Amino acid sequence: MDPEEIKTASLEAIKARGGVIVARLAELDEIAEMTDEQRAEWKTLSDETVHLEARAKNLKERAEVRSKASNIANTETIAVPELRVTKTADDAFDLRTLSLASGDNELRARAITAIEKMAQVPDRVRQQATKIVQKLPGEVARRVLLTGSDAYRAAFQKMLVGQGNLLTSEEQAAFRTALSLTDSAGGYAIPFLLDPTIISTNDISTNPFRRIGSVKTGVSDVWNGISSAGVSASFDAEAAEVSDDSPTLAAPTVSSHMARAFVRGSIQISMDWAGIEEDLRAMFQESKDDLEGTAFATGTGSDQPYGIVTALTGTASEINAATDDAFAIADVYTLDSNLPPKYRLTTLDGDVSTSRASWIANHAIYNLVRQFDTGGGAGLLEYLGKGLPPRLLGYPIYEVSSMDSSITTSGAVSNLVLILGDFRYYVIYDRVGMNVEFIPHLFHTSNNLPSGQRGWFAYWRVGADSVNDAAFRLLDVASAA
């Protein structure tokens, strides 16, 4: 808005414009080195914010004066019937205040405003939700707005225990509108603050892949990326024609797959279960974590994600141990030596140094590594403390319980026991949106009669795959017997 438009703008228009400015300033703030044009845009938006703030303050002062005058004029005590509250644009979750021409930017601005206004929400959650809303299509912002209101969360809790008949008119409206988010098969969209496909739960996760891999989020069935081996620079003579250093681009894709979890409980439990929303979320998250932890390691890629072990097996990144049936410290050094420097060297971010590569293996394999060197030599596994993971040859190690835990020496088999690599090239793709269906009655299999139990069926979609096998090395301690 220019200054003249601001002078006549309504409070609703000011708030809507403010949300757009917040979203754009956040995008500019992520740019390390802004161009002159971008700095000029920042200055313009900053100046506009000052004018908007002054106009909003003036409008609020006028409203306060009118309210005081109204109270004075109505000093007589009268019986006032209960009024039905009509929501206005002050309620960021009320989509009725959006125009039919509202685009993705307006939805994002409204969603960001709603996130900022939510009480008792940790800053970490606000930042993560805001980042996802900013970078993804307006469909995600719409999901935040439809499932983030107090009315929807209250309706969701009642529907989870079969109390749909107790919904207030406001809860009915919120729930009915949010049904547009689900497929024709039904189900209830989980409130976005409880949705693990939107809000990461790494702080309670035992699954290392989400901490060291590249986690992408989207609303389509397939993630489409771009990768290359990089630009090959060259030194050239003065005035000589420059060589064509264009990289060869690849277009890796990661498909999402349906994952499901089911919880059952008695009717009595569901009737007396205070905070069922949070309890179910914790149970679904734990089962999701366990399922994905296995899939990200050894998933087949058929109706489930490609595990990193599966993706590397049979490729040039698979390396055999020096001796069949024997796992030795030399094999650990072989993996390190064979991983290209660009995937293992330490990078500097200011004064902080981090290794690009990480180890993953079963805990039992790490115990074997510990036994290689008990005298404190070069092969000793390091413990850093202060919450940092142990390191092996300078790289952090992570435990993956679904990898091979021992060396099988009978039969011609492979023992895929250890991986070293740059897990930025292992992409996990979350398709936004977890839904839950409430099943009011379960039946015994014997006589097909009700059992007095209920069920909650959750489903979501996730995929994963290596997008650059050269960034990893997989050790196979083969058995030739």
Residues 6+ apart with CB under 8 A from 284: 196, 261, 263, 434, 436, 458
What is the percent of the chain with per-residue pLDDT over 90, rounded to a whole number?
23
**pLDDT(79) > 50:** no
Task: Label residue 101 by pLDDT band (50, 70, 90).
Answer: low
**pLDDT(88) > 50:** no
pLDDT digits (tens, 9 = 90+) for 354-401: 788 999 999 999 999 988 876 666 666 776 665 567 888 889 999 999
Query: How is 345-403 classified by DSSP, letter by letter?
Result: SEEEETTEEEES-EEEE-HHHHHHHHHH-SSSSTTPPB--BTTBPPEETTEEEEE-TTS
Fold of the domain spanning 183-227+250-481 = phage-related protein like fold (3.90.1690)
pLDDT digits (tens, 9 = 90+) for 175-218: 777 776 665 455 778 777 777 777 665 555 568 898 899 988 88
In 3D, which of 178, 120, 122, 144 has the Cα closest to residue 23?
144
What is the percent of the chain with per-residue pLDDT over 70, rounded to a whole number?
79
Q: What is the pTM of this model?
A: 0.67
Measured between alpha carbons, how far is 223 from 430 in angstroms, rounded to an integer?
9
pLDDT digits (tens, 9 = 90+) for 323-342: 998 999 999 999 999 999 88
Q: What is the average per-residue pLDDT within 123-142?
A: 77
Find the range with the poorest average confidence among 22-26, 100-104, 148-152, 183-187.
183-187
**Structure-token pair, residue 206:** 């035992």
Task: Label residue 83 by pLDDT band (50, 70, 90).
Answer: very low
DSSP single-letter state for residue 89? T
Domain boundaries, the chain: 3-58+92-182, 183-227+250-481
Whole-number mean pLDDT of the chain?
80
Q: What's residue 305's pLDDT? A: 95
pLDDT digits (tens, 9 = 90+) for 296-313: 999 999 999 999 999 999
